[in-house]
Chains A and B, each alone.
Chain A
Amino acid sequence: MRRLYRDGLGALALVCCVCTSTAAAEDLIEFLNGSTATGTVKSIRKADREFDFEMNVGGRTFTRVFPFNKVHAVTYRGNRFELTPKVAADAAAEGSEGRSEAEVKALIAAAGATPPDWFESTPLDYPKTLDLSWPLKPPTPGWKSHKNMGQYIWSVINENPPRWRSGIKLIHHCVSLHQDDPVLLKRDMNALGSAYFRLMQDYARAAFWYQQGRPDMTTRDGIQLAECYWRLGNREMALKRLRRGPVNIGAIKLLGDMGELAWALRLTERYQNTNFDYQANILAADALRGAGRLDEALDYYQRVLDSKNFRNEDYKQRFLARARESMETIRLYEQADVSQVADGTYRGSSTGYNGKLTVAATVADGRLEAVKVVAHKEKQFYSALTDTPAQLLEKQSVRGIDGTTGATITAQAIVNATAQALAEGNQ
């Protein structure tokens, strides 16, 4: 009886095997976003790196052409082939900790080899007057933002979010135009890395192009490459680059963000009594404040106030305002204790990247219910406008809020303004 049962099971298993083998005649595509489709691979064009795929959906038959770089893997006639590593998708999940160096490198290489999703559908759109030969130095004196490419990036692309995608496409276009001129190419690729970093927060692609451009660590680009490594999940790669001799002043902020405060302060000391002391000091002070070392932070902010080396009046006003508001916020930390604040909605203002920023904070039953940026002039760093209020609500405190990537000043302004608003409600 038992044997009979076992035989029956065997027969059943055999039937199952037959089933799976017929099912295996169907090919399976796994896309980079995790979705799958079954159908038949009709033909493969290795040279064009694409294949034709026929699938039956809802009773209709469709044939699509899929490029290799959009497909993670194909199970073709029972064998699975991985076409593109499934990392481009993970790159979006920034700050994932603990990737090995090899993983980070693979991720960067994979991302860099493929254009972003939007690349094809974005028009290449630039003024006819623009000089695409883009010499290293602007050939004509003065600011001609519709002629000189670098000035066009600065004046037009950076300023207009709707132009960011087409702007990056334009720099790509320059890269392909300058492929025979290594000097221009290096500059172009660094510009591309910078654009992916600043505008898209696409660290994998930014790192890829920076790696091609090999920026010096004394430039912002060099520091940003290090930051890419850190953001992509490998701290050691970032630190290794920062140890390579002299670094740009921006390293202070990066080190602060990474928690390497002692190093950051050592670096800051080198800038004392130079023309950049106020910049170094404010970066150090922000880092100390973020780490909760408030007394030292106040000390460094005071150094900013005491500086005599401001580049011009405009700089002076902005740095002084930021330092003062930050000191004020630290002093308000006690008063801005949400549990002490009476119910109601309070407003506070602070200086953002582009000017005054106003926040409305709503408190009910000793809890922060809502933080809303009601007025601002920020044109880029939108992420901070939603990200920072969310952090404030989560922590129920104005202390220890991280600066949103690439939007430190805006994030800090929101925190400062919220602290001010809460302090007002605590009087």
Chain B
Amino acid sequence: MRRLAVALALSLLAAAVLMAGGSAIAQPSPAASTLPWFADLTPSQLLRGTLAGVLLVVAAAMVLAHFDRRTAALFRWDCFLPAIKRLRGGQTASRSALGRLVRRVVPGRLQSDWTTKRRGPLRRGLRWLGLSWSSAPVRRLVQSVSLLTFLILFFYVLWPYDARPAPPGERSADWTFQAVDQASGDFTFQGRTALPWQPAAGQTVYVSEPASAAIPDPVVEAFSFVSATDDEVRLAPAEDYGADLFDTFMMSTGTWTLSERDPQRWPSHLADNVAGKQWIPAETFLVIDPLVSLSTAIASRSWVWSLTSAAVILLICVLVPRGFCGYLCPLGTTIDLFDWAVGRRIQRFRVAGDGWWVHIKYYLLAGTLLCAVFGVLVSGFVAAIPVITRGMLFVFDPLQTGIARGWHQVPPVNLGQWISIGLFLAVLSLGLLRPRFWCKYVCPSGAVFSLGNLFRVSERKVESSCIHCNKCVEICPFDAIKPDFTTRTNDCTLCQSCAGVCPTHAIKFVDRWNVVELKAPNQPPTGETALGRRGFLSLAAGTAAAVGGASVAVGVTKAWGANVDDPDAFRPVRPPGSVPEKEFLEMCIRCGECFKACPNHVLQPEGFQQGLEGLWTPLVNADWAGCESSCNACGQVCPTGAIRQLPLEEKKAARMGLAIVNESTCLPFAGRGECDLCVQECNAAGYRAIEFKQVGTEIGADGQPIAGTGMAAPVVLADKCVGCGLCQTRCVAINVKAEGLLDASAIVIEAGEGKEDRKMSGSYRRQPEPQTPASTSNDSYYVPPQADPAPAAPADLPAAPIEDDNPFGL
């Protein structure tokens, strides 16, 4: 009864949390289509949802525990397969309600016979997979699903090459405006032929000025279709149109083009593709690695949005202590696979289970956070998910690209990438020392969870029926069982493998405060102090190592660093929407997710151009490819906000750099030949940021230019160029590689002060600058007086209409 009461209280609390503020289930604002659905989720919504979920799960577990047999626990998490033993009559294999339910649901012939101890096909099948499968199948299943999810998110979601631009739609030119039907408000247009497509009533029809290179910003008005005859179309204006719509159509003498789709729309197929495939964020695993957001937030002294996700996972791990490591972490699962495939066959490097290394992870965590305090972000080198992400990126992405799209699409590998690959292999090879050596002793992300375990509400407990058989110690993947068979609570991941092999069913996973029928501790003696194995000695030495290592890392990084304040220092072109360079270096976790998301590998990992400080950060290699105008994937997937998540509207205005024409090599400037590749490319992408200038014009004796001399050379319009690099890519592809005319691109994207927009927040869309005074007044259409055919009426006439024969003063 007590459990039911507490469960009810918890449910009410969960409901209260959900309702708090009233906006927990508030309607999300209409998200831009170029961002995934969860872009509008606020941190408080996420946190409240999680907290309520956790409370409800605990409440549900308590209700279930109420139906358990012979237990005083508040709740229990048992999800292992109990070791098979002969049952006496009336005895049940499982005490838990869920366990009994499973036995009732699963067909009897698949189950083991507990009176004869004969194993059923289910157990035999799992045993065939391995001992850990047959003892804790749920955990292995979750691990597999988790790794698979990681791989799908990485290799399928971030593979946008099936995206195709929307078809242009039908278009019909030469329509003249006829009249506004003043009764209905419909606009009628007359054409030479019928509309080439049949819109449904209410469907949008776009009316625009005819397409022409001479009209940079054509008028486009959206109408909804009403009806059409052979050569007449009737269109209704949008709901609350402005009165200037009349001016546009009544006072114009030109013709109009009717289009099925907005002729001025900006393509968004790549952004939509990545956004649409993300049923969960592509960077899910990165944002739930708490070290990623924690260290970034400390290093940059700013709010990092993924801190919310870290809080969510830590909250969940209060229920399942270090469950992230045991169940979710794709690096852990990969290491498990490596240990299974390689590690167990090579025994010569094995070390003991106890040594100075057992606490490395805490000191690594301390060192990492210490570096972050000094503004140096090294967590990307050692945190679990960045390590596996980069491993997948540098080892398997080239394979995927090469096989699926051709090996010429694989960018060359630099020294930094080899180092990352080496680090990934080293992490795997640690498995030769002991299985999951990395996870147990080294991983600083795991250390965060270990510390989080201090707040655990559930725990592995050993009952007094323990017979000291040591099977649990042998199977424990995390070295979390002391010699007395009780739990090293900071290390236990609740994987439950131990319970599955326990011959006496002495192990249970229940609330932390359960003290019923427990085994006596320190029997046999463990020799462990309150600080764990190694005690003070390791604390002192480890702290010294952490402080020393951190100061060396900080010193080296800053001494051979990016020199952000030095105007002459190397300034790489960063992805669109990157925060200012100093903050960027403090926030970029170097996980490599943006490289994977970037179509055509425009983003490539930096080597040592900025010393250690810029290693593996993304830079735009425009010699390789240019930034696609319809893509905002890098911002969508950045886990720390170093690249801001921008809707396409913003991204297309965010300047990454500025194209600079080298006037000594550019073919027309150098007088070597006609070339307009960069202009074509820029216009095709829709930026129209490069125009022509006639250069090398010869002047005749009369001072007039000689027609036909000179060449049209490219001039970059600084207020329109966003530095996408498409021009540079094209110049390299044709003039450098195909034709061999140049040694390097004659148009190059450069970053630096005044050439790029680097903002922590706010819009990139440029406000139109106030016009020069002359343009605001209309006297610039000046007609010399002797030519004016209609002299203005005298100014002293009254303004109001008067009863005269000539009201218009003609």
- Please state if B185 and A109 are interface contacts (CB–CB under 8 Å): no
Chain B contacts of A123 at CB under 8 A? 771, 775
Asked if B133 lies at the interface with its beta carbon under 8 angstroms from chain A, I say: no
Give CA–CA (A110, B254) in the complex, Å.
Answer: 17
Complex Cα–Cα for A151 and B792 (A)? 36
Of B112-120, B400-408, B475-483, B688-696, the segment with at least 4 beta carbons within 8 Å of chain A is B688-696
In B374-424, the 8 Å CB interface with A consists of none
Q: From B176, which residue of chain A is reached at the shortest CB distance?
A: A33
What CA separation (Å) do A68 and B780 show in the bound complex?
Answer: 18
Q: Is the CB of B246 within 8 A of A155?
A: no
Q: B44-52, B62-70, B122-130, B797-805: which one contacts chain A?
A: B797-805
B810 in the interface (beta carbon within 8 A): yes
Residue A176 lies at the interface, judged by CB distance under 8 Å to chain B: yes
**Chain A 323-358: CB-based contact to B (< 8 A → 1; otherwise 0):** 000000000000000000000000000000011000
B25 within 8 A of A: no
Question: Which residues from chain A contact B251 at a C-beta distance below 8 Å?
Answer: 31-33, 66, 70, 117
Which of B186, B710, B783 counts the most chain A CB atoms within 10 A? B783
Please give me the residue from chain B that is nearest to A26 by CB atom: B182
Asked if A263 lies at the interface with its beta carbon under 8 angstroms from chain B, I say: no
For B617-658 the 0/1 string (1 means CB < 8 A from A) is 000000000000000000000000000000000000000000
Contacts of B676 in A (CB 8 A): 377
A83 within 8 A of B: yes
The stretch from A1-9, A43-51, A235-243 touching chain B is: A43-51
Q: Looking at the complex, which of B156-164, B209-217, B455-463 is the stretch in contact with chain A?
A: B209-217
A123-B775, A138-B703, A354-B674 known; A46+B797 contact, CB < 8 A: yes
B12 on the interface (CB 8 Å rule)? no
Task: State the CA gap A110–B180 with chains docked (Å).
Answer: 26
CA distance A89 to B810 in the complex (A): 21
B212 in contact with A382 (CB, 8 Å): yes
Q: In the assembly, what is the distance between CA of A59 and CA of B532, in Å?
A: 83
Query: How far apart are the CA atoms of A161 and B792 in the complex, in Å?
Result: 35
Q: Find A159's partner among B691, B774, B794 (CB 8 Å cutoff).
A: B691
Q: Does B526 contact A (CB under 8 A)?
A: no
Q: Which residues of chain A come closer than 8 Å to B250, judged between CB atoms?
A: 31, 33, 35, 37, 70
- Residue-wise, chain B 142-183 has the 8 Å CB interface mask toward A (1 for contact) of 000000000000000000000000000000000011111011
The segment from A16-24, A163-171, A297-305 that touches chain B is A163-171
Could you mark each residue 162-186 of chain A with 1 if its beta carbon is under 8 Å from any beta carbon of chain B, else 0?
A: 1111000100110110010000010
Q: Mark B745-782, 1 if CB is under 8 A from A, else 0.
A: 00000000000000000000000000110110011111
Q: A187–B89 Cα gap in the complex (Å)?
A: 116
Are A379's CB and B780's CB within 8 A? no
CB distance from B798 to the nearest CB of A (A): 9
Q: Which of B182, B712, B787, B793 contacts A47 (CB 8 A)?
A: B793
* A373 to B214 alpha-carbon distance, docked (Å): 20
A76 within 8 A of B: yes
CB distance from B231 to the nearest CB of A (A): 15
Q: Which residues of the partner chain B approach A145 to less than 8 Å between Cβ atoms?
A: 693-694
- When each residue 63-92 of chain A gets 1 if its CB lies under 8 Å from chain B and 0 otherwise, what string results? 110101010001010000111000011001
- CB-CB under 8 A from B249, the residues of chain A are 35
Residues in B whose Cβ lies below 8 Å from that of A159: 691-694, 712
- CB <8 Å contact, B692 and A36: no
Rounded to whole angstroms, the CA-CA distance of A43 and B249 in the bound complex is: 22
| Interface presence of B706 (CB below 8 A) | yes
Cβ-defined contact, A173 with B180, below 8 A: no
Q: How long is the Cα–Cα vector from A379 to B703 in the complex, in angstroms?
A: 25
Residues of B within 8 A of A74 (CB): 808
Q: What separation, in Å, do the CA atoms of A400 and B768 have in the docked complex? A: 50
B184 interfacial contact with A, CB 8 Å? yes
Q: A124 near B774 (CB under 8 angstroms)?
A: yes
How many A residues have CB within 8 A of the partner chain?
88
Tell me whether B708 and A314 are in contact (CB under 8 A).
yes
Chain A residue with the shortest CB-CB distance to B772: A124
**CB neighbours of B212 from chain A (8 A):** 161, 382
CB distance from A116 to the nearest CB of B (A): 9
Is B809 at the interface (CB under 8 A from chain A)?
Answer: yes
Q: Are B214 and A165 in contact, with the CB atoms below 8 A?
A: yes
Within 8 A of A (CB), among B652-684: 674, 676
Q: How far is the CB of B803 from chain A (nearest CB, A)?
A: 9
Residue A394 at the chain B interface, CB threshold 8 Å: no
A76 to B694, CA, bound (A): 54
Does A426 count as interface, using CB distance less than 8 angstroms? no
- Interchain nearest-CB distance for B575 vs A (Å): 29
Q: Which of B185, B705, B799 contacts A57 (CB 8 A)?
A: B185
Contact at A379–B674, with CB atoms within 8 Å? no
> Closest approach, in angstroms, between the C-beta of A314 and any C-beta of chain B?
6
Q: Quick check: B793 and A46 within 8 Å, CB to CB? A: yes
A377 and B674 contact, CB distance less than 8 A:
yes
Contact, CB under 8 Å: A33 / B253: yes
* A396 contacts chain B at the CB level, 8 A cutoff: no
In the bound complex, residues from chain A placing their C-beta under 8 Å from that of B808 are 44, 46, 51, 68, 74, 76, 81, 83
For B105, the chain A residues whose CB sits under 8 A away are none
In the complex the two chains form, is A36's CB within 8 Å of B179's CB?
yes
**B699 contact set on A, CB distance < 8 A:** 143
B179 pairs with A156, CB closer than 8 A? no
Query: Which residues of B (231-286) have their CB < 8 Å from a CB of A?
Result: 243, 246-247, 249-254
Q: Which residue of chain A has its CB nearest to the CB of B688?
A: A162
Task: Report the separation of the CA atoms of residues A172 and B781 in the bound assembly, to the nearest whole angstrom.
Answer: 6
Residue of B nearest to A315 (CB): B708
A245 at the interface (CB under 8 A from B): no
A64/B788 in contact, CB under 8 A? no
| Nearest B-chain residue to A118, judged by Cβ | B215
Residues of chain A with a CB closer than 8 A to B801's CB: 41-44
Query: Which of B180, B243, B697, B789 sits near A143, CB closer than 8 Å?
Result: B697
Does A64 lie within 8 Å of B243, measured CB to CB?
yes
A34 x B787 contact (CB < 8 A):
no
User: Given A138-B703, A172-B781, are A113 and B799 also a contact pair (CB < 8 Å)?
Assistant: no
Min CB distance B187 to A, Å, is 9
Q: Are B694 and A165 in contact (CB under 8 A)?
A: no
On chain B, the residues within 8 Å of A377 by CB distance are 674, 676
Selected contact of B253 from candidates A92, A137, A172, CB within 8 Å:
A92
Distance (whole angstroms) from the CB of B660 to the closest CB of chain A = 17
A-B contact pairs, 22 of them (CB 8 A): A35-B250, A46-B793, A47-B794, A59-B185, A74-B808, A76-B808, A88-B253, A92-B254, A109-B789, A113-B788, A113-B790, A119-B781, A124-B775, A138-B703, A155-B697, A155-B710, A156-B691, A156-B694, A161-B214, A176-B779, A189-B784, A379-B712
Further pairs besides A43-B799, A137-B703: 10, Cβ < 8 Å: A58-B185, A58-B186, A60-B185, A115-B781, A124-B771, A162-B214, A176-B782, A211-B787, A314-B709, A315-B708
Q: Which 7 A-B pairs have the closest CB atoms?
A: A58-B185, A124-B775, A176-B782, A46-B809, A161-B213, A155-B694, A159-B692
Residues of A at the B interface (CB closer than 8 Å) are 31-38, 41-47, 49, 51, 55-60, 62-64, 66, 68, 70, 74, 76, 81-83, 88-89, 92, 109-110, 112-113, 115, 117-120, 123-125, 137-138, 143, 145, 151, 154-156, 158-165, 169, 172-173, 175-176, 179, 185, 189, 199-200, 208, 211-212, 311-312, 314-315, 318, 354-355, 377, 379, 382
